[in-house]
Amino acid sequence: MSKKLDRRKKYTRKVLKESLVALLANGKPISAITVKEICEMADINRSTFYMHYSDPYDLLDKIEAEIIEDMNTYLSSYRFTIEEESLKMTQKLLEYITNNKFLFQTLLTKNRDPAFEQRLMDIAQRFMMSTVHHLKEVNSRYLSTFVVSGAIHVIKDWMKNEMDLSPKEMAIMINHFANYGMSNLD
């Protein structure tokens, strides 16, 4: 019986998340989305919604927190001291974004939540700064801000262009920009 309840809870949360993302993708700002709209789209009653979330903002926070946790897991599984590992890590993150294309396009381009983008930047900066030991802390902080914010904007542009390059091609390009700037561009 417990497994059945767990599956039901997972399903309920899944359809509520999908409904909120669909509303955001249609251009509706989070401030204009009601619990009633989410529940109607998910075919779930309001009391069920409130068993899981306090309001649409809470639901969005949980969606973003899951993405952040997944990205932390991805980044923690790679070493950054070797350029090849950095390339693999970038490619894996881009594959993750590709596999969750609709969600990322909604949160980073259509609904543009600056807080979510900042949280992504903070994670990437923290991991990057932990690998740049030869620089002063202040230089490392500014270098990571420059590289990470540039990478995020390149990824957003890539998503707007319907991911016209493969994750591997994008990873190579982003790593080249981060490591060599504009030198040796083909």
What is the fold of 60-180?
Answer: Tetracycline Repressor; domain 2 (1.10.357)
User: What is the structure's pLDDT at 7?
Assistant: 87
| 112 secondary structure, DSSP code | -
Which residues belong to CATH 1.10.357 in the chain? 60-180
Backbone dihedral angles phi then psi of residue 107, each to the nearest 5 degrees:
-75, -30
- The fold of 2-53 is Arc Repressor Mutant, subunit A (1.10.10)
Say which DSSP state 52 is in: H
Q: Encode pLDDT of 121-154 as tens digits.
A: 887 777 666 655 555 666 667 877 888 888 888 9
| CA gap 143, 12 in Å, rounded | 43
Of 51, 26, 48, 46, nearest in space to 34 by CA: 46
Which tops the pLDDT comparison, 34 or 3? 34
- The CB density around residue 117, as the number of other CB atoms within 10 Å, is 16
Each residue of 49-101: pLDDT tens digit?
999 999 999 999 999 999 988 888 877 776 655 556 778 878 888 988 999 88
